[in-house]
Amino acid sequence: MTELNEAPTGASRGGDGAEPLLKLRGIDKHFGPVQALYGVDLDLPAGQVTGLCGDNGAGKSVLTRCIAGAHQPDHGEMFFEGRPVHIRSTRDASALGIETVYQDLALADNLDIVQNMFLGREALSRGLLDEDSMELKAAETLKGLRVTTVRSIRQPVASLSGGQRQSVAVAKAVMWNSKLVLLDEPTAALGVVQTRQVLDLIKRLRDTGLAVMVISHNLNDVFEVADRVAVLYLGRMVAEGPVADFDRQSIVEYMTTGTASGRPYEPAASASGEV
């Protein structure tokens, strides 16, 4: 994929005041009598990594699925590149350039790396699978992300290590002109070295101008890669701002009580997190 190697172009690189790639305003979602999200606002700027934190049941997964098109919010607005959008299915999300890497990665062990990366979007020539072009394109994408530790991109995914699998899943997500990548607990099952590998990969995604949202329990990872932090507490967005506004202590307090030192989050510069 060539655009991965190119420097980010245009104004999409999210500086202060720039229009975020994806903007959520007042997202509500309930399942029967259970309210999962209360008027959630969230900005996901291009060229930045946003860490989404929250305790179990805070609504991280529901919010992710709303963005990915797996759920539809009951109320609220979404703006993609400034235009209002309705994401009704995962297909809609893919069409916009939103790709999700779920925690279980969704790779077929018996298929090789190329086959997995192109699953559902195979290249054909004269009705038959065009293996050679797919292999070239997959190799190019992996090279662009500097995922170079696999011995052969024709080896079955079953033979890969956890970090390599995560890398393949991410590469699969970014190969399709994606602009926003949602990563659900990307380092949860990984050892130290492999976590390092995946975090480096996330940074490279950001450096190519993609908007990245990382859902993580692991605050080490959040502070390592995130430019911005958003904290959900019982379905409400209690804090959202640049990572410099937070320290480990305050994030934990926001996650567990919704406030830090008894006070709600107040953004230092731009207005955002409404409680």
Which of 6, 109, 207, 266: binder of other proteins (CB under 8 A)?
109
Q: How far is the CB of 97 from other proteins (least distance, A)?
A: 16
Which residues are within 8 A (CB) of 200 and not within 5 positions of it... i.e. 6 or more apart? none
Starting at the edge strand found earlier in the chain, the sheet holding 49-54 runs 98-101, 180-184, 211-215, 49-54, 228-233, 236-242
Which residues are within 8 A (CB) of 265 and not within 5 positions of it... i.e. 6 or more apart? 231, 238, 239, 240, 241, 245, 254, 259, 273, 275
Q: Where are the alpha helices (DSSP H) in 76-214?
A: 90-96, 113-117, 131-144, 162-174, 192-207
Beta strands 211-215 and 49-54, pairing class: parallel
Q: How far is the CB of 215 from other proteins (least distance, A)?
A: 17
Return the structure tokens found at 151. 């011995």
Tell me, by CB under 8 A, how many residues bind other proteins: 51
Which of 18, 95, 106, 275: binder of other proteins (CB under 8 A)?
106
149 vs 256, beta carbon nearer other proteins: 149
> Which among 74-82, 130-138, 218-226, 232-240 is the span making contact with other proteins, rule CB under 8 A?
130-138
Which of 75, 88, 154, 248: binder of other proteins (CB under 8 A)?
154
Question: Distance between CA 28 and CA 8 in Å, rounded?
Answer: 33
133 vs 257, beta carbon nearer other proteins: 133
Binding string, residues 182-221; x marks residues near other proteins by CB under 8 A: ---------x-xx--x--x---------------------
172 vs 228, beta carbon nearer other proteins: 172
Q: How far is the CB of 104 from other proteins (least distance, A)?
A: 7
Question: Distance between CA 33 and CA 51 in Å, rounded?
Answer: 29
Select from 42, 47, 48 the least CA-distant residue to 60. 42
Question: Distance between CA 208 and CA 161 in Å, rounded?
Answer: 25
| Residue list 42-101, contact with other proteins (CB under 8 A) | 90-91
Which of 158, 244, 269, 275: binder of other proteins (CB under 8 A)?
158
Which of 142, 171, 214, 260: binder of other proteins (CB under 8 A)?
142
Instruction: Decide: is 39 part of the binding site for other proteins (CB under 8 A).
Output: no
Residue with tokens 């062990």: 109
Residue with tokens 């207005």: 271
Give me the residues that bind other proteins (CB under 8 A), please.
Answer: 90-91, 102, 104-111, 115-116, 119-122, 124, 127-129, 132, 135-136, 139, 142-143, 146-156, 158-165, 191, 193-194, 197, 200
